Amino acid sequence: MRVIAGKARRLQLKTLPGLDTRPTTDRIKETLFNILQPDLPGCRFLDLFSGSGGIGIEALSRGAEYAVFVEKNPKACMCIRENLAFTKLAEDGKLLNMDVLQALRTLENKGIFHVIFMDPPYGKELERQVLEYLRESSVLDGDTLIIIEADLNTDFSYAESLGYQICRSKEYKTNKHVFLKKTS
């Protein structure tokens, strides 16, 4: 896995061996960031369920002002730290080694994120739990773009009832990105 564009372009990132994380492939990451590029310069980026940190690091490389990485797995956190140091982006990022909901509570009243990306483990409905929490959270506003990487079969029909509008959905061979904004 590598950084595709920006300040850290072409640098190889470490990933965890095994199946504990699912690094986003370069092709999918490139498609995602082509969509996100207008939103990145100067933005505050929140990377939930960060894994090796590849998505948040790509955002920083492409002009995000600041990124917060949230990851519970200590080995993955070590990987994120190493990747941030290797890409020389560590000063623009903050790593929270904790559960995502705990991290969101920690981030309350500390500023709004312009982009929130999450890639939770599949089949556990963690994306729904996060969206339920974010409904009343101060970490986002109506302009914040939320992107969820999910299995193709993940159902988001509940999103509107939680106060979100699905702005876009991009399907790939095995997964998809769903783009949402708060409506209320």
**Percentage of residues in the chain having pLDDT higher than 70:** 90
What is the spatial order of strands in the sheet that 175-182 belongs to? 93-96, 66-70, 44-48, 115-118, 145-151, 175-182, 164-171
Q: Write down the pLDDT at residue 159.
A: 97
**What are the extents of the domains in the chain?**
26-182
Give the pLDDT score at 25. Answer: 72
| More confident call, 182 vs 174 | 182
pLDDT reading at 22 higher than 70: no
Q: Is the pLDDT of residue 158 over 60?
A: yes
* Mean pLDDT for the stretch of residues 150-157: 95
**Number of residues in the chain:** 184
Distance CA 167, CA 146 (A): 10
What is the pLDDT, as a whole number, of residue 11? 65
**pLDDT given at position 14:** 74
The pLDDT, as a whole number, for residue 117 is 98
Is 40 a residue whose pLDDT tops 60?
A: yes
pLDDT of residue 174: 87
| Residues 147/116, Cβ–Cβ less than 8 Å | yes
Categorize the per-residue pLDDT at 43 as very low, low, confident or very high, splitting at 50, 70 and 90: very high
Say if CB 47 and CB 117 are below 8 A apart: yes
Q: Could you tell me the CA-to-CA distances from 94 to 32, 47, 64 in Å, in that order?
A: 22, 10, 13
Residue 107 structure tokens:
């981030």
pLDDT in tens, 45-93: 999 999 989 999 999 999 999 999 999 999 999 999 999 998 898 899 9
Q: What is the pLDDT of residue 129?
A: 97
Give dist(CA 46, CA 32) in Å, integer.
Answer: 15
Confidence of residue 18 (pLDDT cuts 50, 70, 90): low
Q: Which fold has domain 26-182?
A: Rossmann fold (3.40.50)
Query: Looking at per-residue confidence, does 59 or 11 come out higher?
Result: 59
Q: Convert the pLDDT of each residue in 88-133 to its tens digit.
A: 988 999 999 999 999 999 999 999 999 999 999 988 999 999 999 9
**46: Cβ–Cβ under 8 A, 6 or more apart, which residues?**
67, 68, 70, 107, 113, 115, 116, 117, 139
Residues 6+ apart with CB under 8 A from 29: 4, 54, 55, 58
